[in-house]
Amino acid sequence: MYELNSKIRDLTPYKPLAGEYKIRLDANESFLPLPEDLKKAAADAVLSVPLNRYPDPTASALCRAFAARYDVPFENVAAGNGSDELISVIMQSFLMKGDAYAVVLPDFSMYNFYGYVSECRAVEIEKDGFWKIDVDKVIETCNNENVKLLIFSNPCNPTGQGLCREEVRRLIKGVRALVVLDEAYMDFWDETMLPEFAAYDNLLILKTCSKAFGLAALRVGFAVGDEKLVRAIKAVKSPYNVNSLSQAFAKCVLEDGDACDRAFSEIRASKAALETGLRALAEKYPAIEIRDSVTNFAVVKSEKAEAIFRYLLENSIAVRYFKNMSALRITAGTAEENEAVLAAIEKFFKT
C-alpha cells in the first residue's frame, strides 16, 4: 500500500470556518463592492481575454499597473497567485533544506506552514505582552542562530500592531538574513518601505490585492525587491501562475487610482467606527480590552474571547478567535455589520 511520507502524513487541507453566517467578519476581506463603472470596465477587459492562450507568464501589464500605482520600477516587481503563493515560492527558493528562518510570534500562520513544508528550521521569537516586536532581540537572535530568512507582517495580522519605518530600517540593516516584509495591510497605515526598497539588497516586500483593493477572489499578490531577488522568484514560480482573467481584471482596478483611494479611506473609517464602538463597550464591560490596530480589523483581548466568539457564531456572526492571544479579530464591515457585531457583544454581557 502506498504510504505518505512523514512530512505530509498528518497535514490536513486548509479549512476556513465552515457553515453559513449572515455576517462574515472573519477573513479581513474588504466589505466594499467595486464601483459599477469600474466593475463594468474590468468585466469588458476580461471578456476580451483570449481563453485559448496561456497567460502572460510575467504578468507584465498587471505588474506595470502595480508599479505605476506604488511608484516603483516595473523591473522590481513579480506577481503571484495571491501573496500566499509568493510566500511559498520565496521560502522554497531562498532557503535550502535545513536552513533556519525566523518568525516573530504571534504572526500570520502560513509562514511557519511553508517553512515546515520546505523542511527548514523555525526560529520562533516572541513579541512582548503588547505584541510589540523587540527589534534588538530579533536582530540578536537572527544573527546568533544563523537565520537565512526573516519573515513578518507589518502591520501584523493577527495582532493589528505596526512597527514604524525607523524600526523596520534598523531591523533590515541589523540582520544578515533576507528580510521578507509582508505589507498586506499597509494600505491602511502609512509606514510603507516601498519608496526605499532599493536601498536594501536583502529586502523583499509583499503586497496583495486581497485586502484594501477588495479582490480576494482573484488571487493577486506582488513581491517588490532588488532585481536579483525578483528574478529568482520569477525563475522559481510556476510559469503561468496568475491566470489571464485575474491579470486583466486586477490591472483595471489598480489603474483606477481614485476608486482605490476612496475605498481605502472608507475602510479606514469603518475600522475607526468599529473601534470606537468597541471602546465604548470596553468602558462598560471591563472584561474586554481593545488593542489599537492600524489595519482593517479590530482586536479585542479578553479572557472571555472564546465564549464571545461562540456566542457571535450562534447569532450568525463570524469573527476569528485566536486562542494563543485570548483575542478576537473582527474585520471592519459595513455600518450595519459593525452595529450588529457591537449589539451582539453587548447582548453577550447582558445575558
Contact between 83 and ligand PMP by CB under 6 A: the answer reads yes
**CA–CA separation, 177 and 106 (whole Å):** 20
Nearest CB to ligand PMP, comparing residues 141 and 295 = 295
Contact between 114 and ligand PMP by CB under 6 A: the answer reads no
Burial 17-32 (b: 16+ CB within 10 A, else e): eeeebebbbbbbbbbb
Nearest CB to ligand PMP, comparing residues 189 and 349 = 189
Contact between 208 and ligand PMP by CB under 6 A: the answer reads yes
Contact between 210 and ligand PMP by CB under 6 A: the answer reads yes
Contact between 216 and ligand PMP by CB under 6 A: the answer reads yes
Span of 14-22, 58-66, 77-85, 117-125 interacting with ligand PMP by CB under 6 A:
77-85
The grid coordinates of residue 350 equal 447582558
Residue (of 212, 187, 194) closest to 77 by Cα position: 194
- Please give the size of the binding site for ligand PMP, defined by CB under 6 A: 13
Nearest CB to ligand PMP, comparing residues 83 and 247 = 83
Beta-carbon contacts of 58 under 8 Å, excluding residues fewer than 6 positions away, are 79, 234
Residue (of 189, 138, 135, 187) closest to 162 by Cα position: 189
Span of 7-15, 53-61, 81-89, 283-291 interacting with ligand PMP by CB under 6 A:
81-89
For residue 50, the SS3 value is coil
**CA–CA separation, 234 and 230 (whole Å):** 6
Nearest CB to ligand PMP, comparing residues 184 and 203 = 184
Cis peptide before 155 (omega within 30 of 0): yes
| Residue whose C-beta lies closest to ligand PMP | 82
The enclosing H or E element of 152 equals: strand 147-153
Among 76, 88, 118, 153, binds ligand PMP (CB under 6 A): 153
- Residue whose C-alpha cell is 485586502: 211
**Long-range contacts: 194-201, Cβ < 8 Å, 24+?**
194/70, 194/71, 194/72, 194/224, 195/71, 196/169, 197/72, 197/76, 197/224, 197/225, 197/226, 198/73, 198/76, 198/226, 200/172, 200/173, 200/226, 201/226, 201/228, 201/229
Span of 80-88, 113-121, 286-294, 335-343 interacting with ligand PMP by CB under 6 A:
80-88
Site string for ligand PMP, 22-41 (x = CB under 6 A): ------x-------------
| Smallest distance, ligand PMP to C-beta of residue 200, A | 20
The enclosing H or E element of 123 equals: strand 121-126
| Smallest distance, ligand PMP to C-beta of residue 107, A | 8
Among 70, 108, 197, 348, binds ligand PMP (CB under 6 A): 108
Contact between 184 and ligand PMP by CB under 6 A: the answer reads yes
Residue (of 180, 13, 198) closest to 95 by Cα position: 180
Contact between 182 and ligand PMP by CB under 6 A: the answer reads yes
Span of 76-84, 172-180, 282-290, 300-308 interacting with ligand PMP by CB under 6 A:
76-84
What secondary structure does DSSP assign to 104-122, as a single string? Answer: EES--THHHHHHHHTT-EE
Span of 47-55, 79-87, 285-293, 335-343 interacting with ligand PMP by CB under 6 A:
79-87
Among 66, 76, 78, 84, binds ligand PMP (CB under 6 A): 84
| Smallest distance, ligand PMP to C-beta of residue 210, A | 3
- Contacts with ligand PMP by CB under 6 A lie at 28, 82-84, 108, 153, 157, 182, 184, 208, 210, 216, 221
